[in-house]
Structure 1
Amino acid sequence: MQLMRLTLFTDYSLRVLLVLATRTDSLVTIADLSKAFDISNAHLMKVTHLLGKSGWVETVRGRNGGMRLAAHPSKLRIGTIVRHLESDFALVECFGDDNRCVLTGGCELAAVLARAMQAFLDELDRYSLADLANASPALMVLPLWQAVTWHAPVRPPSIEVVPGVAQALLSEPAPARPRGRRAG
């Protein structure tokens, strides 16, 4: 359950950052985002607070307040953002601080998962917030009153993700061919 909460927090944070990356000439409010994404104000207040503390988002208090991106979207790498937002990448017990696994030190699972996690983060490091904003045409049509003010030419997403696609991407791969010498 803890992992789900953290994942949703990161999801909401990335959504906020993507919106702010495309609406640079006006302040965006939590209420606007709450309505557009159908996410509670309380969740978005926590997200905004952390994004403000990170220095990525400038918050303006008061009647005409809101938030805006504090850095150019091309300067914010997705891997950096995810590393900052996710407090726990412990996929298995031996990655955590309170490791009591009796297999520690003699189990290849940790090495495989560590390499996979590094590959995941390396892939995220390839992209900036600007890259994602420019490949997300849905951001341009969100029901927000703030006009889209920054974007490069929009290109379609590299993969269409709709309900069920995530499960398909995570499904069991086809069996690997046996290694060894080929009969000659």
Structure 2
Amino acid sequence: MKLSLYSDYAMRVMIYLAARDDRLAAIREVASAYGISQNHLMKVVQDLASAGFIDAVRGRNGGIRLAKPADEINLGSILRHTEKLTDLFVCAGCIIAPACGLPVILRQATAAFVAVFDRYTLADAAAKKSDLAALLSMVTYAQPSASQ
């Protein structure tokens, strides 16, 4: 099974924020660290914020951070939010649909796939925080001074 680019970006944002603990991060900072489009990332961030996974703080000194501790965020819940797991196969209109056993098998396979994610939290995915920070070249962006 292949995750959508949307889910990929969502997981990356969440791991980035988990590696920063509770410090705010700018979307441009996350996009730059991963070398991905800031515009695409903004859509993902807005969705994650509306779903309650992250907090988005507006304003000059704003940014994004996890809405709760990483060890309280289940990876399966993120995956369920970002993926349309029921759309792996479209059986509507298929001539063999009434007699085909494939939909049952696909539901079981999807459930097994998600069950693995359910066993882990975001803290598990970001357990090596110092290594992640080094690989992502995390920097704390200087806040603009009042004289600027």
Asked if residue 110 in structure 1 is aligned to residue 107 in structure 2, the reply is no
Amino acid at match of 1:59: A
CA RMSD of aligned residues (A): 2.0
Q: Give the distance between the partners of 1:116 and 1:88, measured in 2 at CA.
A: 11
Asked if residue 145 in structure 1 is aligned to residue 142 in structure 2, the reply is no
SS of the aligned residue for 1:67 comes to strand
Structure 1 residues 105 and 130: alpha-carbon distance in aligned structure 2, compared to 1, 3 A threshold: same
User: Which structure has more RCO (C-alpha within 8 Å, separation ≥ 6)?
Assistant: 2
Q: Give the distance between the partners of 1:18 and 1:10, measured in 2 at CA.
A: 12
Structure 1 residues 48 and 21: alpha-carbon distance in aligned structure 2, compared to 1, 3 A threshold: same
Contact 2:19 2:129 in 1 (8 A): no
Q: TM-score, normalised by structure 2?
A: 0.85
Q: Greater shift after overlay, 69-78 or 127-136?
A: 127-136
SS of the aligned residue for 2:64 comes to strand
Deviation of the 1:108 alpha carbon: 1.8
Q: TM-score, normalised by structure 1?
A: 0.70
Structure 2, unaligned stretches of length 5 or more?
141-148
Deviation of the 1:102 alpha carbon: 1.4
Q: Deviations over 1:107-160 (max 9, x none)?
A: 1222221111110011110111111111576523111213xxxxxxxxxxxxxx
Deviation of the 1:73 alpha carbon: 0.8
Contact 2:19 2:130 in 1 (8 A): no
Counting only pairs closer than 5 Å after superposition, residues 1-184 of structure 1 correspond to structure 2 as 7-94=4-91, 99-134=92-127, 138-141=131-134, 142-146=136-140
Structure 1, unaligned stretches of length 5 or more?
147-184
Q: Would you say how many aligned residue pairs link Structure 1 and Structure 2?
A: 139
Q: Give the distance between the partners of 1:117 and 1:87, measured in 2 at CA.
A: 11
Deviation of the 1:14 alpha carbon: 0.5
Q: Deviations over 1:17-60 (max 9, x none)?
A: 01111212421001101111011110110011001101111111
Over the matched positions of the two proteins, sequence identity in percent amounts to: 40
